[in-house]
Amino acid sequence: MYASCMCAQVDSLLQRLAKSSGIQKIALLHQIISIDTSTQTYTYYKEAIRLSKILNDTLAEIKSHHFFGEHFRTRNNIDSASYYFSLGLHLARKVNQPSMQVYALIHLSFCTSARLAFDESLALLNEALAVSRKSNTPKDIALVLQELGVFHYEEHNYEEALLYFNEELLYDEKLNDSNSSASAYNNIGAIYSKIGQYTQSIRSYQKALEIESRLNNAYAVAACQTNIGIAYKEQGDYNLALDQLLQAARYYDQSKLYKEQASCYSTIANIQIEQGNYDNALRYHESALKLRQKINHQKGIANSLTNIGQTYIKKGNYDLAIDFLNRSLKLKTELKDQQMMAVSLDLLGEVYFLKNEYTRAQNYYLQSLELKASVQDPKGKAETYNKLGNLYLAWGKYDLALHQLELARAALATSNVKKELLQNYLLTTNVFRARGDYKNALLFYDRYETLQDTLQDENQRKALAELQIKYETEKKEQEIVSLNERDKTQATLLDKQHTLIYLLAGVVVLFIIIAALLFYINRSRKKLLHQNQTIIQQKQTIIDQKQMLMRELHHRVKNNLQILSSILELQKDRIEDKVAQDMLQAVSTRLNAMLLIHKNLYHDTLSAQIEIHIYLDALLENLLESYGFTKDQVLLEQHIAPVLMDADRALSIGFIYNELISNVLKHAFSGVEKPMLSIVFEANEQQVELLVKDNGLGMKNAKEIEHSSSFGIRLLRLFAADLDGKITIDSNPQGTAVSVHIPNLKTML
């Protein structure tokens, strides 16, 4: 059908060509060249060149070369395309036509990239940028900046790509080119997503979404929503991700864009898997499969079959998993896609490993390795070597396991994949431990711990950078609104903003100090564990050393936290700004929650458990004193079950308790003659229930507070989520009751 439509279009142009002359005839010849695939095309090109020379129209001659070059490039005849673009470039230089030079240089860059000559391609783009800057043509500059950004993005030079895309945006704004601006924001969003800065990624995608919405580009809007959904998914905000993806899916459904809709469904299914909703995930993967079968998208069908098989593995239904994975492998083999085949083989190996059929699992892993070697995939090879190492460990073939794990490390030496290396170190540790070689086991476990600390530090730095970027962006937006609405109070607002920025800097420094202290604790514990395991013959001596070092360690941590608390108190007394004082007070109470844990551990190093009723009682006394209350001023009804709990969980409970009590003491009792505070903490092997009630004036909107984005509420939700807890708020003019329900406490006690 498409071919017949194209032929009809060419026939129509030929009829018009017979009646035309001069410049109009050349323009028609260019149109024919761009769509005609017959051998007659060269004749049209020669005629266009002949007429251009007769009319002494050099621009038309250059365009003819470019049109013919594009004709060959779209048909993957790269050598012919390069030849004709070079002719156009030579002539454009001769008559000093900068825009024509830029066009030819960009397309020559495309051709050299297709030949994998990337250095030459970059040189051509840099020359195009120099030409466009010299002629000071904003449109050409923006175009070249975009191509340079794309080039560096594809080469994984993300910082360079960001520079080019951000500069492109400046020119797009000057040109008022909304389409190009939206494209730049999408590219920037993709880069931030690649480097794990998902907050910035979402912001960039949302800017693109705003532009596309104004332009009524429905398809582009859906694409932006899909990108935003994927970024939210990677960030762990699954509800927000689903909202964006379902909106995009509805558009794709109405527009009959089945390929895009299927991809959307697959992403939604992956979110359902992350949330443990395997049945929902299966429904979406099966819907994606039906859509891809409808349009006969073979590669997509193979991926859907793989996804369904992988989901059945999660469900523990290995027979169905094997059936779907074999179907996917058969289709991928027909498509001759070796990388996709290797994925199915790895998953089949995993299924048979889980079924304890080690010989069959080994065969599939070895087939996968053979394919990955042929396509030069070092990361993929390392993944399969690790899987084989784990298989041989379970099989009891320790020498083979160590050999496979050594091969994995060799493959990872050429790629910076720390997650696979982390798994490799842990597996190697387990193999040496199973062999009774504790010296080498400790050596690799130390490597594992060191790398894990490095990854945690990287994640912490990323999180702090994300928070700082988000804070600065939000403050900038608020400042713009304030300047428009309150010109008369501009100086006051700026002073307040500076104070808050300085305060944020102080808080960031404080958290860095705390992180360093915690890192010191972890490193000290690792050294202690190392000593305990290497000197097996001196067990009693090591235990004595452990008690002594742990006592000293907790004593130091307690003292350091006490010093930090004292510094905060001194700083608070010297600050007049009420907002800053309140923030320092909040940080001080949180430090005290940590301090009390280490006080308990300092007094008892034989156990890493905390008597929760003593801990919470001491925490309450500190909070009352910090906010200027005595037990006589507040009618207390307190029932805290005497439970022993490990220090980490106790600290999380302490943070939750601290936030709830602090909130009551700060806000609830203003104007209340007889303050009443009821605290109930009950715990058993099944659950923990914490209930805090007051007789204050209540909250205006409890639901709104429950979902607030304030730092205190976010901390409360964070620590509750860490314990799989659920927070419920019930508020009215007679008081507020906040309950925290934490299930499955058996592992805590």
CB-based contact 577:568 (threshold 8 Å): no
pLDDT at 481 over 50: no
Q: Tell me whether residue 313 is in a domain.
A: no
Separation CA 15–CA 668 (nearest Å) = 85
Confidence of residue 365 (pLDDT cuts 50, 70, 90): very high
Separation CA 153–CA 118 (nearest Å) = 13
Single-letter residue type at 94 = K
Please tell me the predicted confidence (pLDDT) of residue 95: 86
Q: Tell me whether residue 101 is in a domain.
A: yes
What domain count does the chain have? 2
Q: Please give the angle made by the CA atoms of 276, 281 and 282, to the nearest 5 degrees.
A: 125
The percent of the chain in helix, strand and coil, each rounded to the nearest 5, is: 80, 5, 15
Which residue has better confidence, 26 or 359? 359
Q: Tell me whether residue 492 is in a domain.
A: no
Paired sense of beta strands 735-743 and 726-732, if any: antiparallel
User: pLDDT tens-digit profile of 495-514?
Assistant: 566 566 566 656 566 666 66
Separation CA 12–CA 6 (nearest Å) = 10
**Token output for 214:** 């104004």
Separation CA 270–CA 595 (nearest Å) = 41
CB-based contact 663:677 (threshold 8 Å): no
pLDDT at 3 over 50: no
Instruction: Choose one of 136, 166, 188: the last residue of a domain.
Output: 136
pLDDT at 8 over 50: yes
Please tell me the predicted confidence (pLDDT) of residue 484: 45
Q: Tell me whether residue 322 is in a domain.
A: no
Integer Rg of the chain from CA:
33
Separation CA 149–CA 184 (nearest Å) = 9
Q: Tell me whether residue 252 is in a domain.
A: no
CATH of the domain at 109: 1.25.40.10
pLDDT at 618 over 60: yes
Please tell me the predicted confidence (pLDDT) of residue 67: 75
Separation CA 536–CA 546 (nearest Å) = 14
**Token output for 182:** 């939206």
pLDDT at 534 over 50: yes
User: pLDDT tens-digit profile of 213-242?
Assistant: 999 988 889 999 999 998 888 888 888 998
Please tell me the predicted confidence (pLDDT) of residue 187: 92
Please tell me the predicted confidence (pLDDT) of residue 469: 47
Interacting residues of 442 by C-beta distance below 8 A, sequence separation 6+:
530, 533, 534
Interacting residues of 726 by C-beta distance below 8 A, sequence separation 6+:
720, 740, 741, 742
Q: Which of 205, 261, 256 is nearest to 233 (CA)?
A: 205
Distance of CA 739 to the CA centre of its chain: 32
Please tell me the predicted confidence (pLDDT) of residue 477: 46
**What number is the average pLDDT over the span 566-589?**
67
Q: Which of 718, 652, 662, 713 is nearest to 688 (CA)?
A: 652
- DSSP bridge pairs for 490: none
Q: Tell me whether residue 586 is in a domain.
A: no
Please tell me the predicted confidence (pLDDT) of residue 483: 43
Helix 378-395, helix 418-435: angle, nearest 10:
20
**What number is the average pLDDT over the span 320-332?**
94
Instruction: Choose one of 79, 110, 136: the last residue of a domain.
Output: 136
Q: Which of 338, 293, 287, 291 is nearest to 308 (CA)?
A: 287
Q: Which residue has the tokens 């705003």?
A: 210
Interacting residues of 82 by C-beta distance below 8 A, sequence separation 6+:
69, 108, 111, 112
Mean pLDDT of the chain: 79
Q: Tell me whether residue 643 is in a domain.
A: yes
User: pLDDT tens-digit profile of 408-447?
Assistant: 998 887 666 677 888 899 999 999 999 999 899 899 989 8
CB-based contact 414:381 (threshold 8 Å): no
Separation CA 41–CA 306 (nearest Å) = 45
**What number is the average pLDDT over the span 578-597?**
70
Single-letter residue type at 438 = Y
**Token output for 157:** 């030079």
Please tell me the predicted confidence (pLDDT) of residue 348: 95
**What number is the average pLDDT over the span 153-172?**
89
Please tell me the predicted confidence (pLDDT) of residue 555: 58
The residue segments making up the domain with residue 16 are 1-136
Instruction: Choose one of 74, 103, 136: the last residue of a domain.
Output: 136
Please tell me the predicted confidence (pLDDT) of residue 579: 66
**What number is the average pLDDT over the span 477-490?**
48
Q: Which of 448, 447, 385 is nearest to 411 (CA)?
A: 385
Alpha helical stretches, state H, 336-437: 338-354, 358-374, 378-395, 398-412, 418-435
Helix (H) or strand (E) holding 705: helix 702-706
pLDDT at 307 over 60: yes
Q: Tell me whether residue 446 is in a domain.
A: no
Please tell me the predicted confidence (pLDDT) of residue 491: 44
Q: What is the share, in percent, of the chain residues with pLDDT greater than 70?
A: 71
CB-based contact 695:675 (threshold 8 Å): yes
**Token output for 334:** 């027909």
Single-letter residue type at 271 = I
Separation CA 632–CA 629 (nearest Å) = 8
Please tell me the predicted confidence (pLDDT) of residue 601: 62
Secondary structure (DSSP) of 565-619: HHHHHHHHHH---HHHHHHHHHHHHHHHHHHHHHHHHHH--S--EEEHHHHHHHH
Secondary structure (DSSP) of 209-256: HHHHHHTT-HHHHHHHHHHHHHHHHHHT-HHHHHHHHHHHHHHHHHTT
Exposure on the CB side of residue 336, measured as CA atoms within 13 A: 0
**What number is the average pLDDT over the span 326-344?**
92
pLDDT at 290 over 50: yes
User: pLDDT tens-digit profile of 75-133?
Assistant: 788 888 888 888 888 888 988 889 888 888 988 898 888 888 888 889 999 999 999 99
**Token output for 177:** 């080119």
Separation CA 15–CA 18 (nearest Å) = 5
Exposure on the CB side of residue 188, measured as CA atoms within 13 A: 25
Q: Is 499 helix (H, G, I), strand (E, B) or coil?
A: helix
Please tell me the predicted confidence (pLDDT) of residue 471: 46
CATH of the domain at 622: 3.30.565.10
CB-based contact 346:364 (threshold 8 Å): yes
Q: Of 281-295, 349-363, 401-415, 575-589, give the lowest mean pLDDT range.
A: 575-589
